[in-house]
Amino acid sequence: MILKIEHLGFAVADATLAVPLFEKLLGTNVSKSEEVVSEKVRTWFFRVGESQVELLESLDPEGVISKYISKRGEGMHHVAFLCDDIETEMIRLQSEGFEFINPAPKDGADNKRIVFLHPKSTGGVLVELCQEKP
């Protein structure tokens, strides 16, 4: 079951500019930053009520975030929904006709297991499902 919007992800080209901008915008400091080597990104999280804002900066010019920015520019990248059971939610969504980019959950940032739905099956929006790791 989807429990809430976990975070909104923003692709940024230069975190040295984006982090201070979002600190001013949100009126809060970064709550967590980490590298996700498997995704070739560095992330910065800001707590906003029950949800978060995530900034994503590519660690590799050939990484998915670099390619995204080259094609679409900086800005909103994805919406992430927190699930209580990611595998059960994947089965439910597949039965409803949604397609996934990756066939199984993998490790992501912020101690989460993640999987992405393909935007062609979600009206053009990149959707991430995530679940807290035990």
**Residue 134: its pLDDT value, please?**
86
User: pLDDT tens across 35-88, in order?
Assistant: 999 899 999 999 999 999 999 999 999 999 999 999 999 999 999 999 999 999
Band (6; pLDDT cuts 50, 70, 90): very high
Q: What is the CATH number of domain 2-132?
A: 3.10.180.10
62: Cβ contacts below 8 Å, ≥ 6 apart = 40
User: pLDDT tens across 89-115, in order?
Assistant: 999 999 999 999 999 999 999 999 999
CA atoms within 13 A on the CB side of 5: 12
Domain coordinates of the chain in residue numbers?
2-132
